[in-house]
Each structure stands twice: as structure tokens, then as C-alpha cells.
Amino acid sequence: MGDAKTLTAFYDLRSAPYHFDFVFVAVMADAIGLDRGCTGFELVIVPDQGSGLNCTDHRHSDQFSAEQANWRTANIFMPTVALLPKCLGLTVCASRQHAQTILDAAGGPIFPDDYSVEAPPENYWTNDEFSMLANMGVEIPGLRAPQQALDYVDRWIENHAGNRKVVSITLRESGHDSKRNSNLPVWVEFAKRLDPEIYFPVFLSDMDRIFESAREDLAGFATFNEAVANLILRCAFYERCYITMMVTQGPSTMCYMDGAIRYIIVKSTPPELYGSYPPYPISIGLDVGEPWPHATIYQRRVEEPESLDLLESEFHRMVGLIESDPDNALGRQRMCRDDAGPENIARISRLYGLLPFMSRAVIICQKYLDRNPGELSVLKTMARADLRLQHQNPKILARSRELYAQALKHQADEDLLQFALAKVDTVIGDSSKLDWLIERADLIQEMLNEDGQAAPDTADEFDFLLSLASLYVRMNRSTEAVHVSKAAVRMKPTKDRITNLAMILEAIGNLEEARDLLLQLVDQGEMSALICETLGRIYKSLGEPGLAIDFIQRGVELSALESKSAST
């Protein structure tokens, strides 16, 4: 058996990428090990096909060739261990069976929890998992450049910058997903406008560019290609820079994980998702413009893409912070959230609640309750999330049920917990309390809307029965979907409820009944693009092409009007 004081972390390439996500996982393993009283941790790289050093037929071949994957194993994965003083070793497995042998022999905690070689995590949600961990108030030891690397970097800076303050600019210039690349002219103009008597800008090119001839587009500026090619030197260089700047990219992960780096990272929302709703940061448990939960005051992430005004504004803001207390700012900072209590968990859960089909709003509450059993306010936050969301994760539902049942033994009068338990039971498959739940739908809805949990940042009120019926549709449980939807219409026949019932009836083949419901709305002057599009489909299925075309055309016209109205 292995050492009970050693955590073993598995990075499984059957689902995890050949990317800087590995750094997230390694830093999480370090933090979790520290939190659980371990003296150190070991990293295990598990191959998909073949061995860990032979990446033939790997699942990310659409993004990286086998040669590139092998390079990343050697130049991202392996050097990372040198940046983690508590890492006791790295094993690159020869096969999945090799990984199973290590798992069987492990005597201490395992990460991820419940890891299985036969059934590894479908995805390593590294950003999201890390954000949750930091929101628990877990201290993040983070990356730390070794002294030898710092000594090399100090010599380089002394010979090139002298006494000037180094400002590093790391460029993303990838052929993959190029819309996320750096806007080079903006960065060059920003660098030109820095006071050359005070600051020394240094450009770090993308790896693929450092082996080309001298760059005319960076003429007059220093570059540090050695730090690009060596992860350990890169970390040391960032630690020694006055300010590190870049767009979001692989190396930005190193900045997030190092308390000695002062950074400004822009374009932190992918360009294709900028302006989307819910905002992209919600998916990792952050509000728009909010720093990472563990970030220091000298670490700044910005959603917007780079512009000269933005870069200069953020730069001068950071300079002001640093110069107000330089002795502190230029040292290593502790990375730990200080306000990680029930109020913060409720806030994060509400943010995650904007993702109605995912269970993250519930998961963060469960994680907090694992560390702080019986915290009633967080149980109520979790209950609100379970009542609102349409997630179907069996493991998460079972854990919710266990927590509600346990709490209700001592607090039987907590209506919110009773309602959440009943809903979880119905989703799991026990419909004996479905009608009981329907009868109390108005009260449930009132409680959720009063709490502001239902629809944050919108004027819409949450419709509990509409949500429940939609969940049953997604679970292919049409009988319950129709039952709930018809009950909703009987109780309060709103346009949304009638339209929802009609669409459910259409889906199960009750076309005439669905048509009649929608025509009643049309007769009442209740028209919308959705109603017309649905009627168009129904009439097409009923063999009436003329009416189908008429309603489809009206739907297109209404859709254009609705889009125009929404934009204004």
C-alpha cells in the first residue's frame, strides 16, 4: 500500500487535453492535498491509446498531431512538476493497466474523487472545478519558480533591462482558433507608448514563431525566446516582471496559479462568446469582470478584447496599486479567498443558476456542505437551485436527496427542503409526490421569485411548472410532461404555458389537440414567432401545406420584429 499521507492525482488523456489544463489539475491536487493534511502528492499521466509517451490515435488528433501531443507531454506536463515543491513524483504510464496498478496501490486520497481507470471523468472541467475549490476558501499554494531559474532570469534582466521595470507581453499567434489571437498592432503601439526611461517591454512570441527569422513586426523591442521554449524559465520570468500582460491563452494559466505574478489578462471571454447570455464567466462561477476567487489584488482579468485605451487604462491602474505599497506588491502573495462563507456560496450558486441544464449551482452547495455539515442557509440555497434547475445527474440528485432527508429529520418544518426533496424524488423516478408538488407550485414559485433565485438580472418570473414539464420532456417522460403541463394550464392558462403544452402534445403526436390550443391563442390575438412556427410544423405534418407555408412565413416576419425589438 502507498503512503496514507500522499495524494495521488490522475490526469487521464482519454478525456483530458494535451494543454495547460494539466497545470490546473496539478495545482488543484497540491491544494487538495494540503487541505486534507497530506505531506505531498504524486501526478500520474494515463494514456488513451498506447503509452503516455506515444500519443498515436489520441482523442485530440483533430487539434494536435501525435508529434505535437508528444511535445506537449515533454514540454508542458513534465516541467510543471518542477514548479510544485510538494510534488513527490510524476509517473507517465506505459498503459492503462499500469495506471490501474498505481490506483490499486494508492494508500492516500485520490484526485479526482472517485477516479476510475475504466470510467474516467467524461470531461476535466478544470476552470470550473478550480473556481469551486477556491470559492470554498481552500488555500492555493500555486506555482513557484525554482531558485536556479530565477537566477538565470535575473541575469538576463540585468543585462537587457538594467534598472528599468520589465513589462512582459505574451503573444498568442496560433493557427488554431485564430480569432483568439493577440491584436499585434495594438500591443506594439502600447509598448511604444511606455516611458523608455522607466519601463522595458519584452515580447514573448508564440512557440511556432520563435524559430523563424528575426521579426520585423517587433523591430526595436526585446524578445526572450528562451523563456518561450522553457516552461520553468517562463514561470521565473513572469515572477520577476513588474507586470505581465497577455490575452487569454495557455500560458495565462501559469499566471492564475502563481501568487508572485502581477498580471493583466485581457480577452478573457472568447471573442465568439463576447456579449452572449448568460455571460461566459458564469460557466466558471465568476461574475463579469470578477477576478479568480483566489486572485491577489495585483491580478486582473478583463473580459474585453485589447484596445489601446483599455491596455493603458488597466496598466496605469495596476501601476497605481503596485506603487502604493511596492514592498508588498513585488513579493509573493497568499492566494486564498477570505470571504468563503454561506453568503458567497449563495451568490455563486445564483450565478450558476443561469445555466439551467447544468448542476453546478447544486454542486457548489454540496461541496460546501461536505466541509461544513448542517449549514442550513446553504441547504436552502441548494434547495432553491434544485427546484429551479433542469439537471438530471443521478449522482448529484442522490446526494441532494441524502442531504435533504437528513436535514428534515431535525427540521421537519422547513418547507423549502420538503419541496426540493419531493422534486428530486420525482426526477429520480418516484412520482408519488408529483401531484402534491403541483398543488404547491404557486407557493414554490412565490418563494423562488421572492428570493431572487429564479431569474437573476431579468424581469421574468420563474415558472416552476413550466420548468418541471420541460425537464420531463428532456428526460423523454412524456406522460409526466403532459400531466404537469395540463395542470399548469388549468391553474393559470398563460400564453407560455399553453404554448408549452401544445409543443409537448406535438412531440408525442397529438397534433389536432396541439393545433386547437394554439389556434385559441391566435383567436385571442396572442401571436408570436414560436406559435406561428409551431403551427407551421403541425399543419405540415397534417398534410395542409398551404396553411403550413402561411404560418411559417408569419413566423419569420414576427421573428424579425422580435429580434429588432430585443436589440433596442
Same domain as 375, residue 309: no
Same domain as 506, residue 485: no
Same domain as 58, residue 39: yes
Tell me how far apart the alpha carbons of residues 375 and 377 are, in angstroms, rounded to a whole number: 6
Same domain as 181, residue 293: yes
| Domain closes at, from 276, 299, 329 | 329
**The pLDDT value given to residue 55:** 61
User: Residues with Cβ < 8 Å from 525, sequence gap 6 or more?
Assistant: none
In the numeric block, the cell 405534418 is attached to 541
Helix or strand (DSSP H, E) at 528: none
Rounded to whole angstroms, what are the CA distances from 500 to 96, 463, 511, 518? 48, 12, 13, 10
Residue 534, domain member (yes or no): yes
Asked if 400 and 420 touch (Cβ cutoff 8 Å), the reply is yes
Same domain as 186, residue 67: no
Same domain as 377, residue 346: yes
**The pLDDT value given to residue 452:** 54
What's the average pLDDT block by block, 10 residues per block, for the chain (568 residues)? 85 90 94 95 90 60 74 92 96 94 95 93 81 94 98 98 98 89 97 98 94 88 96 98 97 96 94 79 88 96 95 98 97 95 94 90 96 94 96 95 96 94 96 96 92 50 94 95 97 94 95 95 92 95 94 92 74
User: Residues with Cβ < 8 Å from 467, sequence gap 6 or more?
Assistant: 356, 388, 390
CATH number for the domain spanning 555: value is 1.25.40.10
Render pLDDT for 107-160 as a digit per residue (tens, 0 to 9): 999 999 889 999 998 877 678 889 999 999 999 999 999 999 999 999 999 999
Total domains in the chain come to 4
Same domain as 307, residue 193: yes
Same domain as 31, residue 54: yes
C-alpha cell at 497: 404555458
**The pLDDT value given to residue 56:** 59
pTM of the model: 0.87
| Domain closes at, from 448, 464, 492 | 492
Same domain as 366, residue 347: yes
Direct distance between the N- and C-terminal alpha carbons of the chain, in angstroms, rounded to an integer: 65
CATH number for the domain spanning 367: value is 1.25.40
**The pLDDT value given to residue 63:** 63
| Domain closes at, from 269, 304, 329 | 329
Residue 293: other Cβ atoms inside 10 A? 25
Residue 249, domain member (yes or no): yes
Q: How many C-alpha atoms does 133 have within 13 Å on its Cβ side?
A: 27
Tell me how far apart the alpha carbons of residues 4 and 340 are, in angstroms, rounded to a whole number: 28
Same domain as 486, residue 509: no
Residue 480 phi, psi dihedral angles, 5° rounding? -70, -35
Residue 291, domain member (yes or no): yes
**Burial of 159 (C-beta count, 10 Å sphere; 0-12/13-18/19+):** exposed
Render pLDDT for 431-460 as a digit per residue (tens, 0 to 9): 999 999 999 999 999 999 876 544 444 446
DSSP code per residue over 150-199: HHHHHHHHHHHTTTSEEEEEEPP--SSSGGGS--HHHHHHHHHTS-TTTE
Tell me how far apart the alpha carbons of residues 6 and 43 are, in angstroms, rounded to a whole number: 11
Residue 214's domain comprises 147-329
